[in-house]
Structure 1
C-alpha cells in the first residue's frame, strides 16, 4: 500500500498507491520550534482534566452529532474492520525516519462532513491542515498530510474487500497511521450541533498519558483563541483513537453551526491562529519527552511504535 523514496537532500516524500503525493516536511529533524510551552498543562493537571471531563456530557453529545464517521461500528472477529492488509502493503523503508506529525485531514471527496449552507467541513479541515503543515515545517518538524487535495481516502483502499465506503475510509486512515509510525497523530474535524449557541473547540484523546497531554496542550491554546474553557474528552468509542499505535487526538476546531466559530475557521487570520496553537502544542509535547504510546501499540523514545 505504501512505497517510500528519498528525494534530494533531506527531503522525504511518502507516496501512497492511488494518491497524488503526501506532503512531507523538509529540513533537519533536530530543528524544534522556538515556542514557549504552557506550564499549566502538565501531566498532573491533565489527569485532573480527564476526571473533570465526565462533567461535560452535553458537549459529548455534540461530538456524536458531527463525528459519526470516526466512531467505530460494531465489530466481530470476522468483521471487515479486523481485516489485515497484505504484508507487502505495509512494508516501510527502515532507512526513512518516521514523521514527527501525521495530520489526518477529516473527510474529503464524496464525503463533505458537516455542512452549513454551501460551506463544507472537508474544505475547512484541509485549509487548517495546510496552514498547520506550513507552520510545523517552518519550525523544523517532519510532517505528513494524509490528503493534500479534495479526495476520499476510501478510494485508495484497494486491500479491503468491503462495499462500505465508510469502513474502507476508517481502515485506510488507521493503516496509514500505523504504517508511517508518526510520533504524533492529529486528526482535524469541525463540529456541528442543532443548537447555534454551542461553540468552541473540543479535543478528544486516547486512554493514554501521551494523548491526554497533547490534547490538553491543544485544548488550552484553542480555548484561549475562542474564549472558552472546554475540557479534553476521552474518545472511548472512536475507531482511530482506539486503534492508532501513536499518541493521537481528534481536534474539533469549532462548530460550523456557530457564527463566531464559523467566521474564525474560514478566515485566514483565524486559520493561522488555530495552526499556531497546534504547532505550539506539538512543541510542548516534544519538549516534554516520551509519554508512552497510544493504546494500539508500543513506542521507543517517544518516536515510533515498536514492531
Structure 2
C-alpha cells in the first residue's frame, strides 16, 4: 500500500484522537449519578479535591458542620462547590439534611397496616409493612410523613394512620419539711406564687439542679429540693393523737365577767349557766382545740359547751393580772422544720409548756395549742390573743437553713417599743442561758406577730440544720434552759 498524502494522514490522526477523547468523556459521564439537588452537612473538616480521588489536588478544606449541596456523585465522591471552587468530597463525612420538623419524641400506635417507606413519598421503596396496633416512636416529620424505626428498619410512614399514645406523667410524691416558696420559675428570683406549709404532700414531675417541678393546688411551679422528703409521711408527733378527755381547765375571763355554758356547740343554743373567772371544768370530748366549742362538765355536775377561747390549762388568779399568750409554732399536720427525724413542732411544744409552768404562778397564761395533734392557723393564733386583754404574745420556733453552718438564736418583732424591748430581753437570755450564738433582734413582717394587737415577738431558739444547735435543742436539760430564758425575758419586760 502506498503512502497517504500528508494532509490525509493529518486528518486521520486528528479524527482518531478526537474519537478517543469523545469515548473517554462518555465513560466518565456514565460512571457518575445525577440526582435531585440535596443539602448536606459536613460531619468533620473535609478536603475538597479536584477529582474523585484522594491522590488528586486538594483545593481547600471545608470546615466541620458546613452546609453544602450536591446533585452529582461518582461512587462515594460528591461533586459540589464551596467558596468559588468546584470539586469532590468523600461522602463518608456528609450527613443528609432532611427537610421537615423535629419535635419531642412521641409514642404512636398504628391504626391500620402501614407501609414503611424509604422516603417521605408513596413512590419511594417500601421497606416493610408495620402491623395494625403496633407501637412506634417519632421525633421528626416531613409534611404528614413521620420518620420511625421498626424491626431495625428506619423510614417514613403516613401520619394518617398514626394515633398519639398519651402516657401519664410519672410523678414522685414528696413531703415538705419546712415552709416552702412555690415559684413561677426554677430560681430564687422567680415569683412566689404561694408558700406551701411544712408537712404538705406534693407531686414532683421532674427535677433539675435541685429544683423540682411540682403540682400544688392545681398549679405547676417550682420548689427547692432541699426542703422535700420522698414519701408522704412526716415525723410522728412525740405525743401522737391525744385523748384530751378528763383534762382539767379553767375559765379565763376578766374579773367580774362570765362565759356561757351552752346546751350545744353553738352560740344560738340555750345557756345552762354562766361561768366566772377561774371556774374549773373537766373536758369531756377527746380532741383538744383552742377554737370553737369544747364539751365540759362543771364541779356541780352540769354538762355543756364552752367557747375554747376562754379556757386555759393554767389556773388564773382571782383578780386580773398580766396575761401572756404563748404560741408553740406549727402543730398537727405541720411539723415545721425537720432534720434527721426531729420535728420543730415537737420541741417547741415541750419548751413552751415549760415556759407556761414557770410563769403560771406569777401571771395568767394561755396557749394556742397544748398538744401536737392540733394545728391552729396563723390567723387563729392572733385571734386568740386579740380576744383577751393580752399583755404580750410570744411565738416559739426553731430555725433551719440549707447551710449546716448557720447557727444561733434570733428574735423578731413587728412594731412598737414594747415589742422591741420584749425581744431584746428574751434574746439576751437565750444567748446567756443556753450559750447560743447571738444572731440579734430583727424586724420581721411575720403574719402571726403582725396580726396580734398586743406587744408580740417570735423567738427562733436555734438551727435544727446545725449539728451543735440540734444537740442542744433535743436535749432535755437545754430545753429547760430555753424555757427559763423565755420566762425570765417576759417577766423582765412587764
TM-score, normalization by structure 2:
0.38
**1:106 and 2:314 are equivalent in the alignment:** no
Which of 173, 176, 182 in structure 1 is aligned with 2:390? 182
Q: Which residue of the partner structure matches residue 357 of structure 2?
A: 134
Partners of 2:322 and 2:314 in 1: how far apart?
Answer: 8
Partners of 1:25 and 1:145 in 2: how far apart?
Answer: 9
Which of 189, 192, 195 in structure 1 is aligned with 2:400? 192
Partners of 2:324 and 2:316 in 1: how far apart?
Answer: 14
Alignment of 1:35-50 (within 5 A): none
Q: Which residue of the partner structure matches residue 194 of structure 2?
A: none
Which of 263, 277, 285 in structure 1 is aligned with 2:471? 263
Residue 144 of structure 1, CA deviation: 0.6
Larger CA Rg, structure 1 vs 2: 2
Contact 1:99 1:144 in 2 (8 A): no
Which of 384, 408, 414 in structure 2 is aligned with 1:206? 414
Alignment of 1:103-182 (within 5 A): 103-138=326-361, 140-154=362-376, 169-182=377-390
Q: Which residue of the partner structure matches residue 230 of structure 1?
A: 439
Partners of 1:145 and 1:19 in 2: how far apart?
Answer: 15
Contact 2:326 2:366 in 1 (8 A): yes
Q: Secondary structure at the match of 1:231?
A: strand
Q: Deviations over 1:250-302 (max 9, x none)?
A: 0111111112211212221111111111111111111xxxxxxxxxxxxxxxx
Q: Which residue of the partner structure matches residue 492 of structure 2?
A: 284
Q: Which residue of the partner structure matches residue 25 of structure 1?
A: 314
Residue 223 of structure 1, CA deviation: 1.2
Question: Residues 177 and 98 (structure 1 numbering): CA distance in 2 closer, same or farther, change over 3 Å?
Answer: farther
Q: Secondary structure at the match of 1:153?
A: coil
Contact 1:206 1:242 in 2 (8 A): yes
Alignment of 1:84-99 (within 5 A): 97=320
Residue 231 of structure 1, CA deviation: 1.2
Partners of 1:245 and 1:219 in 2: how far apart?
Answer: 21
Structure 2's unaligned 5+ residue stretches are 1-252, 254-258, 261-274, 284-288, 296-307
Query: More displaced, 101-110 or 129-138?
Result: 129-138
Contact 2:426 2:489 in 1 (8 A): yes
Q: Deviations over 1:109-135 (max 9, x none)?
A: 111110012111100110001111111
Which of 202, 215, 218 in structure 1 is aligned with 2:423? 215
Residue 170 of structure 1, CA deviation: 2.0
Residue 206 of structure 1, CA deviation: 1.8
Q: Tell me how many residue pairs correspond in the alignment.
A: 202
Partners of 2:345 and 2:290 in 1: how far apart?
Answer: 22
Structure 1's unaligned 5+ residue stretches are 30-95, 155-168, 287-307
Q: Secondary structure at the match of 1:180?
A: coil
TM-score, normalization by structure 1:
0.59
Greater RCO structure (CA 8 Å; 6+ sep):
1
Residue 249 of structure 1, CA deviation: 0.2
Q: Which has the higher strand share?
A: 2
Partners of 1:191 and 1:117 in 2: how far apart?
Answer: 14
Contact 1:98 1:183 in 2 (8 A): no
Q: Which has the higher helix share?
A: 1
Contact 1:203 1:249 in 2 (8 A): yes
